Amino acid sequence: MFTTAHPDSSLAASSYAPAYDRSKLSTGIVHFGLGNFHRAHQAMYLDRLMGKGLAFDWGICGVGVMPQDAKMRDVMTSQDGLYTLVLKHSDGTLEPRVIGSISNYLFAPDDPSAVLDVMADPATHIVSLTVTEGGYNIDDETGEFKTTSPGAVHDAEHRDSPQTAFGFIVQALARRRERGVPPFTVMSCDNLPGNGNIARTAVLAQARMADPELAEWIEAKVAFPNCMVDRITPVTTPEDIEHVAGEFGLHDGWPVTAEPFEQWVLEDRFTDGRPPFEDAGVQMVDDVVPYELMKLRLLNASHQSLAHWGRLIPQVFAHESAADADIQAFTRAYLDREALPTLRPVPGIDLPAYVNTLFERFTNAGIADTLARLAQDASDRMPKFVLPTVRDNLAAGRSVELGAAMCAAWALGCEGRAEDGSQIVVDDQQGEALVAAAARQKDGEDTAFVSNELVFGSLGQDPRFVEAFTGALKAIREKGARAVLRELVS
């Protein structure tokens, strides 16, 4: 636990600090991936409950497993787990608040046993995750856990010193089983369709690698609720840090900015209790699927459209692209013609109104979300946000013209140059392969990019998709992105 060694810090002493007594907090949740989104979302909801005098035994112990998480360790330790969340309204209003729900932070490489100890503690009831779309070690084509990956192999062979979130989860569950302690719930909060199901696949596969009997016990006893999470949360910039200090007098090494909008739809299925999330505004439901498909195929797909078209033109910020008449018209047409027909009815949601709300959110210039962030790791995002819609439309005999054109814009961006000659940086786990394929594409091999089966699966062999993709590729090269956007919409 944090020791409140810095009671005179600007965060703890400010008027924006939590009004509740943080000395009453105890850890009930262990969270892997304490990044900006978690701190603007799940941690915020818990802080809201604590502000109501609830959930003091549901404090969050953050855990980092990646080398870059050492910085979060240093910031969280120096600030007693406090940090600033600033909501940026579209009218320019800023709404600061110091969040106090983080009760501890552990950097796993420092001491893996300390992480296992808190996870095996009977007081821990939930282990949650925001480890990014690509952090689940799942093959996008097969849906299977990659048992030959170095991290998975290491964690199966060195169970008491794991390196991955799933190695920690498996070994902590093994210890709880040995001690007769009820298992915790594993709660994924990542932008993935069926995120709980995917977490379950990863945990069970990791367990089977070392102890098949343990895997059977996990399969029978552990809940993996699905959920849909939503709040646009950009990367923290040096300017954000300076602004928080200058405007509010809060000296914070890693503040978070976010839009005012928030949504969390959570399947009400837990192994060993949960906080009263509904009292903080969480929608507790029996079936998350309609909500998550809505969000992934509308909001997240729109972000990909803004990113890949915007970077070609070129533009820098999401609000620029969202306000651009041609990109907005294309994105709305894609949602209307190709994405919406693949969705199920969503209880309580007017889908056309939801689409309008998206563009109100996207054009909030205060967020200053960058297209570079939205395009980051597109090889993970496009297969989850756009390509499933393409596949559904192909199966139903509907048009995939706009989805294929979006893929063509991405492919051209991976060639590394915008239409004005400026550089487009490809920041992607598969960056080397994408850039190499894009280079072959530039040399005349039009299907090189979509032949990457790790990303596109069998779509690269579907003549309807390939025809639409190569047609868009050729058109953008000859006429430019803006002209093609207008043609596609008209």
CATH number at residue 405: 1.10.1040.10
Q: Which of 285, 314, 329 is the last residue of a domain?
A: 285
Between vectors from CA 128 to CA 287 and to CA 24, what angle results, nearest 5°? 115
Output the tens digit of pLDDT for each of the chain's 490 residues. 765 444 446 899 999 999 999 999 999 999 999 999 999 999 999 999 999 999 999 999 999 999 999 999 999 999 999 999 999 999 999 999 999 999 999 999 999 999 999 999 999 999 999 999 889 999 877 889 999 999 999 999 999 999 999 999 999 999 999 999 999 999 999 988 899 999 999 999 999 999 999 999 999 999 999 999 999 999 999 999 999 999 999 999 999 999 999 999 999 999 999 999 999 999 999 999 999 999 999 999 999 999 999 999 999 999 999 999 999 999 999 999 999 999 999 998 999 999 999 999 999 999 999 999 999 999 999 999 999 999 999 999 999 999 999 999 999 999 999 999 999 999 999 999 999 999 999 999 999 999 999 999 999 999 999 999 999 999 999 999 999 999 999 9
Split into its structural domains, the chain has a count of: 2
User: Do residues 84 and 168 share a domain?
Assistant: yes
Q: Is residue 2 part of a domain?
A: no
Question: Residue 406 contacts by C-beta under 8 Å, 6 or more apart in sequence?
Answer: 304, 305, 308, 309, 334, 386
User: Do residues 281 and 307 share a domain?
Assistant: no
Q: Which of 257, 285, 313 is the last residue of a domain?
A: 285
- Distance of alpha carbon 58 from alpha carbon 49, whole angstroms: 10
Task: Please return the burial class of 395, using the count of CB atoms within 10 Å of its CB with bins 0-12, 13-18 and 19+.
Answer: exposed
For 267, list phi and psi in degrees, rounded to 5: -70, 130
User: Do residues 366 and 478 share a domain?
Assistant: yes
Which of 398, 379, 84 lies closest to 255 in space, CA to CA? 84
Structure-derived torsion over alpha carbons of residues 55, 56, 61, 62, reported in degrees to the nearest 10: 60
User: Do residues 450 and 345 share a domain?
Assistant: yes
User: Do residues 275 and 413 share a domain?
Assistant: no
Q: What is the CA radius of gyration of the chain?
A: 23
State the residue range of the domain holding 347: 289-489
User: Do residues 398 and 477 share a domain?
Assistant: yes
Q: Is residue 3 part of a domain?
A: no
CATH number at residue 17: 3.40.50.720
